[in-house]
Structure 1
């Protein structure tokens, strides 16, 4: 019996060696007792659909089973109230923290906040009020704000003042509920012509608004394209950063697929004591279940510091 047991163990060990490290990891990614992430990474709906289908509740449970402690959903505001409530209950039951959702209509090709137009300002502020109700329903503490397109007929300084004034008024709506709008600078290549593009610009605006309800969403993918110098820029505007998002460049896929040394970036963010959310706002580099396992492996590898 001892010999038989030895042979079985030896055969299993040989199989693992033959699989290599990636094979071992591929088994581990679906084991909730193995996956431990050092930061609060937040997947989104659809990222693991090949494992559990399209039902958002099943997807949330799968995320929790893999060791993820946060979740973000840009489209949450547009989901039926009944679905929002079910998702909120599942997150509460599974100890998942809700991340950002998009708070308002984004003007990709026409100026709104930068224009100073009073009707556009009112529209934005009404959407912020609506987003407060959604945030309370799903226990969200952060909402994404993009100030929209440049107003090419106005000097940049005037546009900046218009944006600051609007955000001050929005902050007054959000502060009593302890909800933070996070301003997301977007890169010139994917989103040409937008008002807000760089982290120094976002830093300046947040300092001028001077509210705990107006902070920066530092999207590492966008800022790698827009300005690079990631770690020094993170340090320079650290006091105003309330949220991170992730995507490698080029391709906007999971870490390890592009040029960004995410292990070092994550290590730096972790060393600063950050306990907020890092949204996984990217696609999967490989389709199907294997691609979904690859995403989880990428975060396990990038958390190994």
Structure 2
């Protein structure tokens, strides 16, 4: 597994942080003493997470992430960015030795153009998004891209909806597979109207598609809300899991702010030999520079499972 050392450049003045009732004095001292730290997993921040510490410029933010020791990066909105910025971001990631995580395939939003309906116009929009995603992936050296199939088509039996989803995703996989790209299907907890909500359901869809270009994005925050039993359910679906995202519950903030035992979850993922990306798809529990440093310290703390 690839690991990087880092020098923590930004210090917090005052006493030790306490997140979720856990004292982070040791990790805060790492920051203050500029000692090196190695992350055991490829945690991936996103733009805006460290804007107070790094500034507004996207390239400065990526460099700041690398300086803190993060070895991956994700950007849901990458497809909507200017080509020149995409190219520059890709070059910066390569220069800093960072792995590009997911971006979202542009198909009109989570609830829009539902593939469950089987309508050709919706399928065409999805396939066009896949084609454009290939070009974006080349610019930023990405491998994974998020796909949300849309909402239920309530007028159709569930089995027919399953079949419609599988057939549409097969078409998408045909576009991505020659390029070694992988769409990762994300079950969500945001609305009861969303078709894809559970890990076992997503597993079934991936098996139905039967392509290395269609796998599971296991978002720990969403799956804690919809089904719990995180390690058990990850283990059951593990052969189809290609990407993981993070967020504590309740609140969808950094680890240590909610009920999930992330240190134990991270330890299990590491022991499974996972060498992929864990996207930090959550907000900061506190505002400003102190809140951003709290995120860094939380990951240092929860990563000490060895």
> What displacement does 1:58 show?
0.3
Structure 1: runs of 5+ lacking an equivalent? 1-17
Distance 2:206 2:38 in 1: 34
Tell me the distance in 2 between the aligned counterparts of 1:205 and 1:197: 12
TM-score between both structures, scaled by the size of structure 2: 0.90
- The answer to whether the 8 A contact 1:219-1:245 is kept is yes
Q: 1:108 to 1:93 in 2, by over 3 A?
A: closer
Report the count of equivalent residues.
286
Q: Distance in 1 between matches of 2:191 and 2:84?
A: 33
2:155 paired residue among 153, 156, 160: 153
5+ long unaligned stretches in structure 2: 1-13, 17-22
2:142 pairs with 1:137: no
* Residue of structure 1 in register with 2:267 after alignment: 267
Determine the structure 1 residue equivalent to 2:70: 68
Give the aligned partner of residue 104 of structure 2.
Answer: 102
Aligned to 1:8: none
Aligned to 1:285: 285
Name the one with the larger helix percent.
1
Determine the C-alpha separation between the residues in 2 that align with 1:26 and 1:285.
Answer: 17
Q: Is the 8 A contact 1:150 1:195 kept in 2?
A: yes
CA distance in 2, matches of 1:27, 1:81: 41
Are the aligned partners of 2:24 and 2:298 in contact in 1 as well (CA < 8 Å)?
no
The 5 A counterparts of 1:78-97 are: 78-97=80-99
Aligned to 1:250: 250
How far the C-alpha of 1:112 sits from its partner, in A, is 1.8
Asked whether the equivalents of residues 111 and 151 of structure 1 are also in contact (C-alpha less than 8 Å), the reply is no
2:195 pairs with 1:195? yes
Deviation, structure 1 residue 156: 0.7
Retained in 2: the 8 A contact 1:30–1:66?
Answer: no
Residue 35 of structure 1 corresponds to 37
C-alpha distance in structure 1 between counterparts of 2:267 and 2:36, whole Å: 20
Alignment partners' CA distance in 1, 2:161 and 2:185 = 16
Distance, in Å, in 1 between the alignment partners of 2:82 and 2:113 is 29
Deviation at 1:25, TM superposition (A): 2.8
TM-score, L = length of structure 1 = 0.90
The Cα shift of 1:174 comes to: 0.5
Structure 1 segments of 4+ aligned residues over 3 angstroms from their partners:
18-24, 29-33, 106-111
Residue 24 of structure 1, CA deviation: 5.1
How far apart, CA to CA, are the structure 2 residues paired with 1:199 and 1:178? 24
**1:58-81 alpha-carbon deviations (Å, 9 max, x no partner):** 000000000000000001110000
Query: SS state of the match for residue 36, structure 2?
Result: coil
Contact 2:50/2:61 (8 A) holds in 1: yes
- Bigger Cα Rg: 1
Q: 1:250 to 1:52 in 2, by over 3 A?
A: same
Q: In the alignment, is residue 121 of structure 1 matched against residue 105 of structure 2?
A: no
